[in-house]
Chain A
Amino acid sequence: MAEASTHPAANPAALRAPEPPARGAADPMRPRRFRIARLRRELADTFTLELEPLDGAGMHFKPGQFNMLYVFGVGEVPISISGDPADPSVLVHTTRAVGTVTNAMNRLKAGQSIGIRGPFGTHWPAEAAHGDDVLIVAGGIGLAPLRPLIHTVLAERDRFGKVLILYGARTPEDILFTRELKAWRGRFDMSVHVTVDRATGAWNGHVGVVTRLIKMGGFDPGNTSAFVCGPEAMMRFCLTALAEKGVREERMFISMERNMKCAVGVCGHCQWGGHFVCRDGPVFRFDKVADIFRVWEL
């Protein structure tokens, strides 16, 4: 293997640094300040922050990208953006209070401010799905990172074939964005199927794992782009179900989650094989990672 002995000095230009940056101007670890315009409770442990930039500049982002959210003195966490990419004036994050930082965030009030670094990472390539049926497969909180994609797809609905949202949640009480799901379900140009792992009482919808919704079909597998987001194990089974249906690996996209401390590819925490998930992900085209996706504890 030729690279094995490639000496770094073989590329001397690589060692001579380019121009120094303006001091402090481009410090990637310095957050911008945003004010909490609204804090909305979505579920028992899940909430949405609507944020406005204190420096006046909006935040342009692409569906699937994430920010690092900073609570003063407490810490920083990566959270995907769940708002509409067409509206950069308000930054929307939906997250679950599961750790120190997100719990602290959950206790903040409108008017208080938090720090934001971002947007970071790769995006759901809606443009790659032009002409295809669009299959959006979400599990649990995984609907939040897909929501900007749904907005993007609906904003240019004519460019796509059928549009299906398949959403699995734990129980009917855990279904996120219910009002929006109902509105989408009411449209004539898309299908929304929701299933829950277990239900009691009045639930009249599907009960069962989300993979069953994939098996039900309703899309043309050979011409379908699938965007899958949820817990890793859920994605594993969904990808298998999609492959069994005949969806091609190069048209499956997943969003990975790993520990992140810097989001700019230097802290090393988010490495997954050769990928820095913060930079090379979180969205991956499945065929690019199929060889490592099932390697245990990688």
Chain B
Amino acid sequence: MSDPATPQSARAVMLDVPGLDALIAALAGAGFTVIGPRLREQAIVLEPIEGRADLPAGWRDVQSPGHYRLEERADGALFGFASPPHAWKRHLHPPEVRLMRARSTGSGFEVTDSAGDHAPPRLALLGVKPCDLAAIAAQDQVFGLTPDAPEASRPDPTYAGRRRAAFIVALDCGHAAATCFCDSMGTGPAVPADGGGADLVMSEIVEGGHRFLVRPASPAGARLLDSLPEGTGRPPEAADRAAAAAVPEATRAAQRRRLDPDHRRIVADNLDHPHWSRVGERCLACANCTMVCPTCFCATVEDSTDLTGDIAERWRRWDSCFTMDFSYIHGGSIRIETASRYRQWMSHKLSSWYEQFGRSGCTGCGRCIAWCPVGIDLTEETARLAGRAPAQNAAKQDSATPTGGE
């Protein structure tokens, strides 16, 4: 694919590993809290980082249905892992947020503060993989940030505030877990040429010298690169660009798992399929898949008062369509069977999301497969709904990493 943004790519820069610290420092200097991957309790988490020393150097993940663990990799890659358990959504759509405070006035109340009153934190998200970049784009639509969002919905102040203030450093993906299927979703493993909404796009090159190709994808990204200290990095050479382009291609070649491209129709046409009941028997309704999914956005709204009853608060908290209460209307819940709740989740993700937002709600990140305690796999369930044994994923227990088996 030709690079349409020639003026920007002209300003692309090669950073060596210490150069990454300059980039992180520049972000911090611009007032951002930098969020990036780091190791915590044998998993990779996305939390504030101070510098490259916090990054999970030389770790990769091994994932399969119901399975996630880290193992060391020899090449010292800083971003050599696939989807971490938590998605970036917790920083843009926080698990809980206070929407409102109100004070009793005796006969009534007055609102003393609401979510839109507060300046959002300015976050720089470092190392957003293409699948998660697509997920952020999907949530932009959900929360009304896009021009094509339904007229009736005004942008959600919390999400819109955080999202507009955020700086995104995307990353071409250099590692496919066996749970990954972004290629079949068209969301990865390469960051799209236009940057996919990121401000900077980064490629981590390990072979032939550990280094990073960083190119601007927005005016803010270009300004940030311009702000790097004199002498940081060097212009990329053709060999650098070729090496960078090879990274996602190797990842693509390593991907085995696929979601049937006809998933929308398969799910929509099979809402009464007996297979839902069979999945329902396995599903624990634990809601893990919805918590780790980077596009799942459902939340509940809870009102409460303090002990005196004088101060009331309204909080929004992540919710899941797997809970019985989720569909509660007076008298009872709509979705009583676990099968119905699983169907709701999967049919929303793979079918009704198209009706709502013109795209799939699944980005192929594979988190729901790895973090399902019983290993339910939506690519496999889709194949079964289509009446096929899921032969295409037969090799799923094998590691799909280019560097070897588990």
Q: Which of B110, B163, B326 touches A17 (beta carbons < 8 Å)?
A: B163
Identify 18 residue pairs between A and B in the complex whose beta-carbon atoms are under 8 Å apart, listed by A's number.
Answer: A3-B358, A3-B359, A6-B359, A15-B196, A20-B160, A29-B301, A30-B116, A75-B302, A76-B301, A112-B108, A259-B334, A262-B299, A264-B152, A265-B152, A266-B156, A269-B326, A274-B356, A297-B343
B261 touches A5 (CB 8 A): yes
Interface string of A226-242 (1 = CB under 8 A from B): 00000000000000000
Across the interface, name the chain A residue whose C-beta is closest to B136: A15
Q: What is the CB-to-nearest-CB distance from A205 to chain B, in angstroms, rounded to a whole number?
A: 27
Q: Contact check, A265 vs B153: say whether CB atoms are below 8 A apart.
A: yes
Instruction: Show the binding face of A for B, using Cβ within 8 Å.
Output: 1, 3-9, 11-18, 20-21, 23-31, 33, 35, 54, 70, 72-76, 96, 98-99, 111-115, 120, 257-259, 261-262, 264-269, 271, 273-276, 279, 292, 295-298
Interface of B: prevailing SS? mixed
Assess whether B300 is in contact with A267, with CB atoms less than 8 Å apart: yes
Q: Which residues of B contact A13 (CB under 8 A)?
A: 147
Q: Is B304 part of the binding interface, using a Cβ–Cβ cutoff of 8 Å? A: yes
Contacts from B to A (Cβ < 8 Å) = 99-100, 102, 104, 107-111, 114-117, 133-134, 137-138, 140-148, 150, 152-157, 159-161, 163-164, 185-187, 192, 194-197, 261-265, 271-272, 297-305, 309, 312, 314, 316, 319, 321, 326-331, 334-337, 340, 343-344, 347-348, 351-356, 358-360
Distance (whole angstroms) from the CB of B186 to the closest CB of chain A: 4
CA distance A176 to B351 in the complex (A): 41
The reply to whether B194 and A9 form a contact with Cβ atoms under 8 Å apart is: yes
Contact A27 B194 (CB under 8 A): no
Rounded to whole Å, the gap between the CB of B179 and the closest CB of chain A is: 19
Q: Are A21 and B154 in contact (CB under 8 A)?
A: yes
Complex Cα gap A271–B319 (Å)? 13
Task: Tell me the complex Cα distance, A170–B171, Å.
Answer: 63
Chain A contacts for B330, CB-based, 8 A: 96, 98-99
CA A14 – CA B138 in complex, angstroms?
Answer: 10
Contact B327 A258 (CB under 8 A): yes
Question: Given A98-B330, A297-B336, is A111 in contact with B355 using a C-beta cutoff of 8 Å?
Answer: no
B137 cross-chain contacts in A, Cβ below 8 A: 8-9, 14-15
Look across to chain A and name the residue whose beta carbon is closest to the beta carbon of B153. A265
Contact of B108 among A113, A261, A266, A279 (CB under 8 A): A113
B24 to chain A, nearest CB (A): 24
Chain B residues within an 8 Å CB radius of A297 = 334-337, 340, 343
A27-B116 contact in complex given A7-B134, A9-B197, C-beta closer than 8 Å? yes
Q: Is the CB of A279 within 8 A of B152?
A: yes
**B102 proximity list for chain A (CB < 8 A):** 72-73, 115
How near does chain B come to A269, taking the closest CB pair, in angstroms? 6
In angstroms, Cα B104 to Cα A114, docked, is: 11
A98 to B145, CA, bound (A): 36
B303 touches A14 (CB 8 A): no
Shortest CB distance A163–B (Å): 30
